Amino acid sequence: MKTEEQNTTQAKYSVLLYYIYSPIDNVVEYRDIHHQFCLDNHLLGRIIIAPEGLNGTVSGLVEDCDKYMKWIKSDPRFAKVDFKVEQSETHTFKKLYVKIKKEIVHSELPVDPLIQTGKHLEPEDFKQLIKNDPNVVLVDMRSNYEHSVGRFKGAVTFDMENLRELPEHMHEIEHLKDKKVITYCTGGIKCEKASAYLLSQGFTDVYQLHGGIIKYGLEEGGEDFDGKCYVFDNRLTTEVNKVNPVVISKCHICGTTCDRMVNCANPDCNEHVPICEKCGVEMQGACSIECKENPRKRFYDGTGYYAKTTEGYKPEIAFRTRKNTKNLQIVEELGLV
């Protein structure tokens, strides 16, 4: 099994993916401290701080990411956090956002993973179980555009935009209540609440892939994961399967085999679809003629990635000096100010 340190020895930059459910009472103060640490150590990415815990994906120089991991774990609340560490030649983010939200993954599911959740399977155990137990069913808890470019062989998938829609799809797996159900997602975070929700709905033998697709790829080579894994940084996808890889997606424009994911250049659309390089150039990053002709279409630089812009969000300004921001609204709603 690879350690966090071993994963970061061969490249100039690291990409970290992590979450932890651990109560945070001082979210306002901690948000400021966390944000300043990232600024001081040249880290970029998206970090969510909520009363229930932390969720982040961060990129930076190897030494800066090592320092960040040690700093997080030095806090007793987060000592058990599990970092998934990938290698990169550059930053995989263009900006830094450290935000306060109600949940570390938006689900609105009436469950608490600190009270009940599915049994955690380490990647090695997961691999053996899906190979040797015919009573196992894999259930993908990610959004439709994510599993369209990559998923485990034979997995059940839902046509949902986000985890909030899971209750609307429960009828699709109602007949699986007598099976061993293993949920999976990118890094494991969605499964904490998704598996808990399945248990609340009468499923009795529920598991989840600990660390998600990314950890499985890093530690077990990603066998039987078809396609690529969608990620929320400027790579858009990352390779997982080093054993028996295949491409399962096709170009949205011409239909050729393609696993190159693109965000439509039209911000009014912003669909996540596979588009080959040739069509990407010809369509200027748009997914249709209508989107190509939209006057608000963004400049296509060949990547199909567009950094999220947030009005009024300036990392260099302390949180408490900003007014009328979404952060402040959420904090007020939570009764924390």
Which pair of structure tokens corresponds to residue 255?
A: 């239909």
Q: Report the alpha-carbon distance of residue 49 to residue 330 in Å, rounded.
A: 11
DSSP per position, 178-217: TSEEEEE-SSSHHHHHHHHHHHHTT--SEEEETTHHHHHH
Catalytic residue at 185? Answer: yes
* Cα R_g (the chain), whole angstroms: 20
Q: How far apart are CA 102 and CA 96, in angstroms?
A: 19
Separation of alpha carbons 206 and 181, rounded Å = 5
Give the separation between CA 121 and CA 129, rounded to whole angstroms. Answer: 9
Which ranges in the chain belong to alpha helices (H)?
A: 27-40, 62-73, 123-132, 144-147, 189-200, 212-220, 277-282, 289-292, 326-333
Structure tokens at 109: 């599911």
Give CA angle at 190 (211, 244), nearest 5°.
50
Q: Catalytic one among 38, 65, 185, 251?
A: 185
Instruction: Give the tokens for residue 226.
Output: 């078809």
Residue 322: CB atoms within 10 A of its CB come to 13
Residue with tokens 């009024």: 312
Active-site positions read 185
